[in-house]
């Protein structure tokens, strides 16, 4: 989201909160008090005349438009699990947070709190050959952030000047985003006990799931989502990326 936004604004996007500029379509506007509505015309002040929209919805749930550009990002489900555990404990459940093992049982079930990781991946993977879709893994974005920025700018048909590109690279680093972490918080959606200040940008690591998970638990996650992808008929090479 930060990369696409800074590309659209040629490295000069400024905001008190990122959702002052970026609509978030997953929630009805009445339940999303901090995000600019998708009908807002603020994007017309953007130098590229492009609007960046955030969503976690599966591809088939999005109102598709041939003129739109879609950046589809997936992440190792083991790291997703750890991130979700910290996120939900800090921002939602607090002292009511289920145990780690209970949260794992939920994650590896049809009742997964954020929906099926495999269905989300598969829906974007199926669309990856479309000219207006860029399928990326979080891991390759961390490994080659500059190359990923160039690919996203290419998808958006934005040719950045050298100084603009440098600005986007700098402002999409973990260190930069961590320093302004409160600008990414889910303000207004958390209960009173939530510790929401700057918690959306936590560690930004690849392969750090062993901070919470045993090797057996990691293998359980791999086995479950590998089987789910197989059930969906997906040919995404799970073991090449995450096994």
137: three-class secondary structure by DSSP: strand
**From the CB of residue 36, how many other CB atoms can be counted at a distance below 10 Å?**
21
Please confirm, yes or no, whether 120 is among the known catalytic residues: no
* CA–CA separation, 237 and 214 (whole Å): 24
* CA–CA separation, 156 and 53 (whole Å): 13
Q: Which one is catalytic: 17, 19, 45, 56?
A: 56
- Cβ-in-10-Å burial (0-12, 13-18, 19+) of 60 comes to exposed
* CA–CA separation, 10 and 19 (whole Å): 18
Question: What is the maximum alpha-carbon separation in the chain?
Answer: 52
Q: Are 68 and 38 in contact (CB under 8 A)?
A: no
* CA–CA separation, 156 and 69 (whole Å): 7
The catalytic residue positions are 56
């Amino acid at each position: 989201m930060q990369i696409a936004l800074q590309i659209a604004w040629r490295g000069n996007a400024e905001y008190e909160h990122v959702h002052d500029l970026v609509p978030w379509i997953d929630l009805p506007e009445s339940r999303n008090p901090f995000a600019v509505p998708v009908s807002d015309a603020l994007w017309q002040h953007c130098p590229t005349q492009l609007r960046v929209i955030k969503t976690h919805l599966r591809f088939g749930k999005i109102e598709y438009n041939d003129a739109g550009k879609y950046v589809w990002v997936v992440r190792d489900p083991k790291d997703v699990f750890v991130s979700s555990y910290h996120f939900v404990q800090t921002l939602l459940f607090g002292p009511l947070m289920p145990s780690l093992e209970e949260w794992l049982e939920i994650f590896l079930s049809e009742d997964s709190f954020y929906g099926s990781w495999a269905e989300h991946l598969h829906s974007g993977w199926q669309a990856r050959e479309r000219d207006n879709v860029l399928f990326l893994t979080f891991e390759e974005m961390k490994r080659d952030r500059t190359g990923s920025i160039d690919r996203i700018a290419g998808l958006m048909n934005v040719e950045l000047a050298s100084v603009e590109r440098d600005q986007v690279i700098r402002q999409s680093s973990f260190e930069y985003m961590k320093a302004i972490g409160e600008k990414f918080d889910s303000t207004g959606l958390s209960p009173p006990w939530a510790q929401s200040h700057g918690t959306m940008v936590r560690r930004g690591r690849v392969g750090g799931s062993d901070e919470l998970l045993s090797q057996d638990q990691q293998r359980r996650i791999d086995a479950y989502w590998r089987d789910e992808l197989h059930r969906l008929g997906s040919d995404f090479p799970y073991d090449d990326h995450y096994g």
